[in-house]
Structure formats: structure tokens, C-alpha cells
Amino acid sequence: MLWKNRRSSGNIVDRRGMSGGTMGVGTLIVGAIIYTLMGGNPLEYVAYNAGNVGPQQQQQVNPAQDDAKKFISVVLADTEDVWNEIFKANGLTYREPKLVLFSNMIDSACGRASSAVGPFYCPEDQQVYLDLGFFSQLSKQLGAEGDFAQAYVVAHEIGHHVQHQLGFNKPSVNLELQADCLAGVWANQTQRAKNVLEEGDAEEALNAASAVGDDTLQKAAGREVVPDSFTHGSSAQRLTAFKTGFGKGNAQTCLDSYR
């Protein structure tokens, strides 16, 4: 993907290397309230997180990730361009999300998460969270190599932000497939407007979509494939969803096809 010397997003929040206390008292209280609204016991939340209240300390950040950060910033800028334009054409206003980079552990309005959960979108604070180390796992462990595979991951999470703004919030496999389809729309519109895709980029995205299918991940973990346990869809479903968005380039097609 041609990305160097192009516009970077101003919506990157870099919290990599932060350790020690990870939240203030105010954040702890807000988190407890949200936890209560979600049906949890606020005392349990406070007890679990109280030991992490305090000032944050900056540790050394891996300089090898500098290019990855710059690349993600350009991809995020591309998603802003695409979704601002699509929302405007439909008489809507797109609220650009923040993308928070972290390492090891992060506290969001949706609770605490480790890098092991992979990239995620939190609708409570409308932010995307990403540990850049995930891209190494994507390449080495899941076999999805290439920068456009990484771009697909970001575009998928931004797809969840688009869904949230449009009121598509009910967790389901179709919601995940819809986000894959919206990622395909982003790829289509970005290519039309900027002609930045290189030979093999589309294949990288398709390979990534296949690599993170529930059936593929279950097989890789040595487990029996159980369709009823799927949360994101099979490899074939994710491939089809991305192809639909990439081929049509129309967000409404995704919204109609994966309700």
C-alpha cells in the first residue's frame, strides 16, 4: 500500500509504555458506574481496579514500531476521508474516533483489556484500541502478512464505529461480518479516490480475513470446530463479507446484507 508522505490522522492517542497506575479516581468511579449499568457489582469493579489507581509512568517504547504507528495514522486518516464523505452525502455528520495505541494492558470505558484480546472497539467511549504487537502475531502466527492486512484490521474496527453511529449495536456474528463488509467499502473508496493499492494488497486483506475466521482459529488451537460458538464468522463468511464491500463500494449494501 502506498502510504508514505500522505496525510496522517490527528486522532492517534499513544499510550504505549504506560505502567504503574493506569487510572485516576474519577476514572475508577466512572468505570464503576458503567459496570453497574451493565449489571455488575460496583464493589467488585472497585476491588479489582483499586490497586491500579495512581500516576502513570512512561517506559521505553519499541522504536521498531515507529513506522507501524505512522502507517496506522495514515490508514486512520483514509478512513476519516471515506466515512466523512459517505456520511455527508447522506446528510449525516461523522464523528471521528480516537485510536488508542497501548502495550500489554489498557483501561477503557468498556473495562480492562490485555493485548491478548487483540484490537477492539469500545462503544462506551467510541475509541479503537490497538497493541501494535498484534501485527507480529497476525503475520507470524496467523500467516496474514503485508501492510494491507494490517490496514484491514484497522478498517474493521472503524467499521464498528460506523455501526455504532448508525445504531447497529446488537452483538452478533452478522455485526462482525457487517464490519468486514464496511472495511471492504473503505478499501474500495480509498482506491478510487487515491489509487494507493499495490499489486497483492487485496490478496493480503483477503488472507487476513480468512486467517481470523472462527473456524480457522479453532483449528489452529487444536479444538473442534463448533459453529454455534462462532463470534465473528467463519473464514469463508469473512472473505465473502469483505469481498462484498470491496466489490460494491456501497455502505448501504453492507447494512442491508448483514442485519
Mean pLDDT by 10 residues, the chain (259 residues): 95 80 56 57 56 51 80 97 98 97 90 87 94 88 88 95 92 91 97 96 92 80 77 91 96 94
Is 150 found in the same domain as 32?
no
pLDDT at 42: 62
pLDDT at 20: 39
Is 196 found in the same domain as 228?
yes
Query: Considering the domain boundaries, does residue 166 fall inside one?
Result: yes
Domain of 46 in residue numbering reads as 18-55
Is 195 found in the same domain as 241?
yes
Is 31 found in the same domain as 91?
no
Domain count, the chain: 2
pLDDT at 164: 95
pLDDT at 95: 97
Query: Considering the domain boundaries, does residue 195 fall inside one?
Result: yes
pLDDT at 219: 80
Is 223 found in the same domain as 172?
yes
Global confidence as pTM: 0.81
Query: Considering the domain boundaries, does residue 106 fall inside one?
Result: no
Query: Considering the domain boundaries, does residue 135 fall inside one?
Result: no
pLDDT at 171: 80
All three cell numbers of 185, joined, read 467499502
Of 55, 84, 105, the domain-final residue: 55
